Structure 1
Amino acid sequence: MKVAVVGCTHAGTAAILNIKALYKDADVTVYERNDNISFLSCGIALNVAGVVPDAQKLFYSSPAALAELGVCTKMQTEVLAIDIASKKLKAKDLKTGKEFEDTFDKLIITTGSWPIVPKFEGGDLENILLSKNYDHSKTIIAKAKDAKNVVVIGAGYIGVELAEAFEMLGKNTTLIDAVPRIMNKYLDQYYTDKAEETFKAHGVNLALGQKVVKFEGAKGKVSKVVTDKDSYEADLVVLCIGFRPNTDLVKGQLDMLPNGAIIIDEYMQTSVKDVFAAGDSCVVSYNPTDEERYIPLATNAVRMGMLVARNLVGPKLKYLGTQGTSGIKIYDLNIASTGLTEEGAKAAGIDAGCVQVTDNDRAEFMPTFEPATITLVFDKKTRRVLGGQIISDKDLTQYMNTLSVVIQNKMTVEELAVVDFFFQPHFNKPWSLLNTVAIAALDK
């Protein structure tokens, strides 16, 4: 069995490691444009801030480790074309410039995603950077040393984390987004308000509800970011606007969403036999709305990569879908969410209910206890739990992992209200926070 894997970050690495564990005799070749694999890009901000000073620790595998398993590792090799029907591909060794062809029995597309880069006037000026891979991380750190004014464009998780990192480095930091709230896709306004207050308290300039119009520069380097409402001095700009599937190689050969995300079934199989896809290159089954969505997350990628291996020679293990569960730490705030926000549920056409409860994490007779705010979103008609969020100074984010299972199993508010959770004064109260918020929703 000759297996070609195109792309090797999270999904590709997971697929390869599991294939070699299950099928030791499989002939596996991986094609990767970079000279590294498995870089945890979610750690870039930690590296920039110096929390994780050694970027090498953000790798959990290597080309050498794959080679030891018997994998043919073609690093710094770009796949130029794939002919799925004839099971052939054409590639180029970026070190030598030599082009060559290869064949495969099974094809695994784990080409990931790439940052969205709108065409701004002045977009080719120096010191306008992306934040996606290891090389980007190194460049950001090097450029930030001499930068005084840093502008981050895009207030999703990556942009927010970078804004915090630059402020921690003592930079004059501005965070710009076209929408009026940071992290609006993940959190309702109560939570984003708390996060924004924290940023302002640390001196981060929030320029929200503003669209970038152009960049201005001097001597070929960026010096100013101009929006439709204001302008901001900038020695360094990092674009964190979003991501798109990197699937141009197989466009027209596989079924895709309009944005290029490859459509797969519950066994990671694409619309063509023997061709699989995983990670940021493809869709996921989003359980809260029972539809296919594009949600690029490392957790989805490693899970899907493992499933490719399990289903490579036949359908065996189903993908259970995702709730898009995520968490973030902003200074002293610990925030997590899963499933739909109230705003997201209404945008999806759901008659959603929402309750919010603030309670202490454990019994008040204990020497210490911490307040936490938790939100539950549910379908008013079916009573099905659709999502939730939590925020506290103490790390209570694991509640959202539990709630993710609740959503995946299509539990109702009534079931969550009385589900069995342990009680021990060192850790919690007789009623879990999840019980408490569900009880509050019973009469809604």
Structure 2
Amino acid sequence: MKVVVVGCTHAGTAAVKNILNNHPDAEVTVFERNDNVSFLSCGIALYVGGVVKDPAGLFYSNPEELAGMGAKVNMEHDVTNVDTQNKQVTAKDLKTGEETTVDYDKLVMTTGSWPIIPPIPGIDSDNVLLCKNYNQANKIIAEAKDAKKVVVVGGGYIGIELVEAFAESGKDVTLIDGLTRILNKYLDKPFTDILEKELEDRGVKLALGENVSAFVPDENGKIQKVVTPSSEFEADMVILCVGFRPNTELVKGKVETLPNGAIKVNDYMQSSDPDIFSAGDSTVVHYNPTKQDNYIPLATNAVRQGMLIGNNLTEQKMKYRGTQGTSGLYLFGWNIGSTGLTEEAAKLQGLDVNVTVIEDNYRPEFMPTTEKILMELVSEKGTNRIVGAQFVSKYDITQSANTMSVVIQNEMTVEDLALQDFFFQPHFDRPWNYLNILAQAALSNMHQ
């Protein structure tokens, strides 16, 4: 059986390993346009901020490991054509220019995503940088050495983490985002208010609800300032973090996709062409809170989907369980966890929900210390099915986002969580765990 894998970051690496574990006799050919595999881009901000000293730790595999398992690994090869009729893939060696065409029985599209690059005047100015792969991380670090004024465009997780890294290293930092709140996809206003105040207290300038209208370079072509409709910001360096789009041009019109190009798959990671599998940032996920397909590019989704390809390559053995889009973030001492729908997202999806926001201590007041937790529970009206949760605290409550992810995936109700069995030990929690207390408050709100 000939298997061709196109792209080898998270989903591709997981797919190759699991294919070879399950089918050791398979002829697996890998094409990757970069010179590395399995780079954890979520660690870029830690690398930029100097928390991670050795970038080698941001890779959990390498071409040699995959080759040792039996794969034929072609690094710095760009796939130029996928012929689904004749089941052939053509790739170009980026170093020599030589083209190679190989046959496949099964094709794995793990081509990932690429940063969205908006059509803004001056965007080609020097030091307007992207933040996705290892080479871009090295470029950011190199340019940051001399940069004093840094503008980050985009207030999602990557942008916020970079803002923290640059602020901690003494840079003059401005954050610009077209939305009126940071982390808008993950958190509702009571939570982002806390974090925005923290950023401003740390000296970060926030330009929210502002779109960049121009990047203005100096006479040498290097970025000088960033212009919005209401203001201008001096800049030695700009990082664009405005989102990602799936890399799926190779199979455009050949398999079914969402309007943005993300490849649709069934529960076994097969596209509309059953011999073409897809996983990771090039692929849709089944979003359990809404029970619909969605595009959520996360490494956690990618590795799960890649694993499933290895299990389902020749027969449908293991079904995809879907995702809640669970995430965690550490920002200036705040621990943030979220999963599922926010109140705002639920409204946009047309889902009628009850929302409860409370604050409580994570453990009893008689203990020498405790910390407050701001918590939110989002549940579907009528069924009381839990569809979202958020947490922020100085205490590390982020694993509660994982607990709530399990709750949502298993369609538990507010009543289920209100009475769920959790242990009690004063060092760690209260007689009623704070998740119980949150659900009980939600029930009380419903009955008022």
Q: What is the TM-score when the length of structure 2 is the normalising length? A: 0.98
Q: Which residue of 1 aligns with 2:414?
A: 413
Deviation at residue 423 of structure 1 after TM alignment: 1.2
Pairwise CA distance, 1:25: 1.2
Deviations 1:140-199 (A, max 9, x none): 000000111110000000001111111111111000001110001100001101110110
Matched to 1:405, the amino acid is V
Residues 44-123 of structure 1 mapped to structure 2, 5 A cutoff? 44-123=44-123
2:327 matched to 1:326?
Answer: yes
Give 3-state SS (helix, strand or coil) of 2:193's partner.
helix
Query: How many angstroms apart in 2 are the aligned matches of 1:3 and 1:96?
Result: 24
SS at match of 1:415: helix
Which residue is equivalent to 1:393? Answer: 394
**SS in structure 1 opposite 2:213?**
strand
Partner residue, 1:260: 261
What is the alpha-carbon distance in structure 1 between the residues aligned to residue 264 and residue 176 of structure 2?
33
Aligned to 2:158: 158
Instruction: Please say if 1:308 is aligned against 2:309.
Output: yes
Other structure's SS at 2:238 match = strand
Residue 359 of structure 1 deviates from its aligned partner by 1.1
Structure 1 CA distance for aligned equivalents of residues 113 and 144 of structure 2:
25
2:132 aligns with 132
Instruction: Supply the distance in 1 between the matched residues of 2:416 and 2:51 (Cα, whole angstroms).
Output: 41
Aligned-partner Cα distance in 1 for 2:169–2:178? 25
Deviations 1:78-112 (A, max 9, x none): 00000112110111001111112111111000000
Letter in 2 for 1:132: K
Between the two proteins, what is the percent identity of the paired residues?
58
1:43-442 residue pairs with structure 2 within 5 A? 43-218=43-218, 219-442=220-443
SS at match of 2:225: strand
Letter of the 1:265 counterpart = N
More divergent stretch after superposition (360-369 vs 76-85): 360-369
What secondary structure is seen at the aligned counterpart in 2 of 1:307? helix
CA distance in 2, matches of 1:223, 1:169: 21
Moved more, 365-374 or 267-276: 365-374
**Deviation for aligned residue 1:365:** 2.0
Distance 2:104 2:84 in 1: 9
Report SS of the residue matched to 2:319. coil
Who is 1:19 aligned against? Answer: 19
CA distance in 2, matches of 1:206, 1:145: 23
Moved more, 364-373 or 330-339: 364-373
Count of matched residue positions in the alignment of Structure 1 and Structure 2 = 444
Extract unaligned runs of 5+ from structure 2.
Answer: none
TM-superposed CA distance for 1:367, in Å, is 2.1
- CA distance in 2 between counterparts of 1:434 and 1:308 reads 35
Q: Distance in 2 between matches of 1:289 and 1:375?
A: 18
SS in structure 2 of the partner of residue 74 of structure 1: strand
- Please state whether the residue corresponding to 1:34 is helix, strand or coil: coil
Give SS of 2:429's match.
Answer: coil
CA RMSD of aligned residues (A): 0.7
Residue type of the alignment partner of 1:247: T
Amino acid paired to 1:232 = F
Partner Cα separation in structure 2 for residue 372 and residue 215 of structure 1: 40
Which residue is 2:6 aligned to?
6
Distance (whole Å) between structure 1 residues aligned to residue 55 and residue 130 of structure 2: 17
Deviation per CA, 1:213-264, whole angstroms, max 9, x where unpaired? 0111111111000011111001100100000000001100000000000000
**How many Å separate the matches in 2 of 1:25 and 1:346?**
50
Report the Cα distance in structure 2 between the residues aligned to 1:173 and 1:262, rounded to whole angstroms.
37
C-alpha distance in structure 1 between counterparts of 2:365 and 2:236, whole Å:
50
CA distance in 1, matches of 2:184, 2:332: 19
Give the Cα–Cα distance (whole angstroms) in 2 for the partners of residues 284 and 273 of structure 1. Answer: 17
What CA distance in whole angstroms lies between the structure 2 residues aligned with 1:125 and 1:361? 49
Name the stretch that deviates more: 170-179 or 345-354.
Answer: 345-354
**13-22 or 276-285: bigger deviation:** 13-22
Q: Which amino acid aligns with 2:423?
A: F
Q: Secondary structure at the match of 1:101?
A: strand
Aligned mates of 2:140, 2:435 — CA distance in 1: 40
CA distance in structure 1 between the partners assigned to 2:66 and 2:90 by the alignment: 22
CA distance in 1, matches of 2:268, 2:274: 12
Give the match's secondary structure for 1:442. helix
Q: Which amino acid aligns with 1:392?
A: S
Cα deviation for residue 290 of structure 1 reads 0.6
Q: TM-score, normalised by structure 1?
A: 0.99
Distance 2:125 2:179 in 1: 25
